[in-house]
Amino acid sequence: MGFLVSGSDVIVLSAAFFGLLVFLVTHIIGLRGFRPQRVPGMLLGCVVLGGLGTLGSYFWLVGLKVNSALGGITSILIFSLLVFHYFSGVFGMMEAAIRIRLLLELYGRPAQSATPEEILQNYNESMILKLRLDRLVAAGHLKWNGEFYRIGNRILLIQIGIQRIVKGLFG
């Protein structure tokens, strides 16, 4: 027992993967050329370009037919899921970067172990706080003027407000 793959399945998947390729290429170029404060907008632009690449390649392969709209929607859906997994895999790993660096450092030691004092030489609270603040500045949530931090994006405040309301309602 096997499974059958139709020509339209191959076209849908090819379009989704082409869109992912467009997204990845623009994402890599964008990360090298944009200031950290502009990264969120650049990422959104990369997703839009990848989506346009998905739709463009799909309709280029099948032609502009009314009955092919479902395949285009399916291509966009698959592209969106691929991009979601890319973000959750790559950027989710960045959230766990300190843990991973710690594990790799321990793995690289001869006995694969370290005392708490040895660990704290490289991983102290101020270093961890600096990494998190740098990440918030890079995402545009905070702004740093060389002296102090300011709120850089009001969307985070809206999310905090919604979270407080939900917590108040449900305890």
CB 14, CB 57: distance < 8 Å: yes
Rounded CA separation 80/124 (Å): 38
Partners of 144 in the β-ladder: 149
Separation between Cα atoms, residue 68 and residue 124, nearest integer Å: 57
Instruction: Please state the pTM of the whole predicted model.
Output: 0.56
Half-sphere exposure of 34 toward its Cβ, with a 13 Å CA cutoff?
A: 19
Q: What is the pLDDT of residues 62-106, one digit of tens each?
A: 877 656 788 889 999 999 999 988 887 765 655 566 677 777 778
Query: Tens digits of per-residue pLDDT, 91-147?
Result: 565 556 667 777 777 888 888 888 888 877 777 778 778 878 887 888 778 888 888
Residue 154: Cβ within 10 Å count: 9
Query: What's the CA gap between 33 and 170, in Å, rounded?
Result: 44
Phi, psi of 114, rounded to the nearest 5 degrees: -155, 155
Give residue limits of the domains in the chain: 7-86, 139-171
Separation of alpha carbons 129 and 98, rounded Å:
11
Q: How far apart are CA 84 and CA 23, in angstroms?
A: 12
The pLDDT score that the predictor gives to residue 1 is: 47
Instruction: Give residues with Cβ within 8 angstroms of 82, minimum separation 6.
Output: 16, 17, 20
Structure tokens at 94: 């960045």
